[in-house]
Amino acid sequence: MAVSPAVTTPRTVALAVISPVRDEAQHVRRTLDAMLSQTVRPQEWLFVDDGSSDDTRAIIEGYAAQHPWIRVISRADRGQRVLGGGVIEAFNTGLAALQNKNYQYLAKLDGDLSFTPRYLEIMFEAFAADPKLACVCGKVFRPEGETLVEEYISDESTCGQFKLYRREAFEAIGGFVSAVLWDGIDWHRCRMLGWHTLSFHHPEARLFHHRLMGSSDRGVLRGRSRLGRAMWYVGYHPLYALAASIFRMRENPRLTGGLMMIGCYLAAALSFKPRYPHPDFRRYLQRWQLMQLKARFLSRP
């Protein structure tokens, strides 16, 4: 008589996960199933439905009926997807609505991701190894047909799709800034305060992003134009803005997306658009960017 393998109960950690979602019916099951497969699970996972017009909320409610640590609440529909500021407004709504206030770690998780079963376990091993680690993630890959395309981020940066924070560090920076490129401002602010931030390759700690970055609001070109303006606002050095735009020219739509980025950056500069109102942050950011460019140039054969 065959013996069924033992079922291992996932370990629960003092982690609160908040997922702002809007019209994610196509992808959100992947995210839910990925979390349910984890060897380590959060004590609470709160979805904030930010005005969905599809079946997003109904899908989440179906899972929540089986798993009481999953909940969903709704915000009034503002009539459109608002990236950056809108996402953080929804996140903050969730933060205020958490039932368990004793969390030690906090995450913002998008509804279009999947990830490997040991993902959280490996992230918490990284936290345990470095008491000054503020935020951590694995590397992000986008499935394209039968291949995986890495969405490049430096090893010091952390991806916006799954921000996993030590609570102490998150509160030290005052939370997320309600602006486009909030997911770059946050980890730079951490490092300014002496915290560490990290993304790393691990075969059992991969994130799979099921939508091209920047394409969720009426197409990629609109996203690239928004990113160009955001680079000016945050304080990108012109050389780094150019390098980032050239890098994006390799992605679809090839060439035009990167041209749109640098064009909108220059247009914002020439019209003296407002910038992130912290000159010390902008100086720090530009020093870091120039060091990155120098290191990349010196590493070339």
Beta bridge mates, 115:
207
The answer to whether residue 2 scores a pLDDT higher than 80 is no
High-pLDDT (> 70) share of the chain, %: 92
- Residue 5, in any domain of the structure: no
Residues 50-64: pLDDT tens digits? 999 999 999 999 999
What pLDDT is stored for residue 214 in this prediction?
47
In this structure, the answer to whether residues 224 and 196 fall within a common structural domain is no
Are both 168 and 48 inside the same structural domain?
yes
Higher pLDDT pick, 35 / 179: 35
pLDDT in tens, 101-148: 999 999 999 999 999 999 999 999 999 999 999 999 999 999 988 899
- Sign of the CA dihedral 241, 189, 171, 118? positive
Confidence at residue 98, expressed as pLDDT on a 0 to 100 scale: 98
**Tens-place pLDDT, residues 204-242:** 999 999 976 544 445 678 888 989 999 999 999 999 999
Task: Say whether both 91 and 27 belong to one domain.
Answer: yes
Residue 268 and residue 190 share a domain: no
Is 267 found in the same domain as 130?
no
Selected residue with higher pLDDT from 297 and 245: 245
Rounded to 10 deg, the angle between the 56-64 and 28-36 helix axes is 20
- What total number of domains does the chain contain? 2
- Residue 248: pLDDT band by 50, 70, 90 thresholds? confident
Examine the fold and report which residue of 161, 186, 209 is the final residue of a domain before the chain moves on: 209
Closest of 194, 199, 167 to residue 184, by C-alpha: 199
Determine if residue 272 is left, alpha or beta; phi over 0 gives left, psi from -120 to 50 gives alpha, anything else beta.
left
Helix (H) or strand (E) holding 245: helix 238-248
What are the angstrom distances between the C-alpha of 140 and each of 62, 154, 157, 223? Answer: 28, 11, 12, 19
66: left (phi over 0), alpha (psi -120 to 50) or beta: alpha
In 139-236, the DSSP E strands lie at 140-144, 147-151, 162-166, 196-200, 207-209
The pLDDT confidence band at residue 83, using thresholds 50, 70 and 90, is low
Question: What is the pLDDT, as a whole number, of residue 299?
Answer: 74
Per-residue model confidence (pLDDT) at position 76: 83
pLDDT of residue 225: 92
Residue 258 and residue 164 share a domain: no
85: pLDDT strictly greater than 90: no
One domain for residues 124 and 193: yes
Mean pLDDT, rounded, of the chain: 91
Could you tell me if 120 and 243 lie in one domain? no
Tokens for 197, please give them. 């931030």
- Is residue 122 in a domain? yes
Any domain includes 245? yes
In a domain, 2, yes or no: no
φ, ψ (nearest 5 deg) of residue 287 = -65, -45
Q: CB atoms < 10 A from the CB of 264, how many?
A: 22
pLDDT tens digit string along 144-191?
A: 888 999 998 999 999 999 999 999 999 999 999 998 899 999 999 999
Does residue 205 share a domain with residue 64?
yes
- Looking at 162, 185, 209, the residue that finishes a domain is 209
In a domain, 253, yes or no: yes
d(CA 141, CA 66) in angstroms, rounded, equals 30
Q: Which DSSP helix (H) or strand (E) runs through 270?
A: helix 256-270
Both tokens of residue 5? Answer: 């393998």
Within this chain, do residues 98 and 179 fall inside the same structural domain, yes or no?
yes
Structural domain that includes position 62: 13-209
46 lies in the same domain as 188:
yes
Q: Is residue 171 part of a domain?
A: yes
CATH number at residue 96: 3.90.550.10
Q: Is residue 8 situated within a structural domain?
A: no
- Structure tokens given for 294: 């120098």
Residues 6+ apart with CB under 8 A from 99: 44, 71
Q: Are strands 113-115 and 207-209 parallel, antiparallel or unpaired?
A: antiparallel
Q: What is the pLDDT of residue 130?
A: 98
pLDDT at 213: 55
Confidence of residue 300 (pLDDT cuts 50, 70, 90): low
Assess whether 157 and 282 both reside in one domain: no
Residue 230 lies in a domain: yes
Q: Give the residue from 209, 236, 262 where a domain finishes.
A: 209
Residues 6 or more apart from 171 whose CB is under 8 A from it? Answer: none
Number of Cβ within 10 Å of residue 191's Cβ equals 16
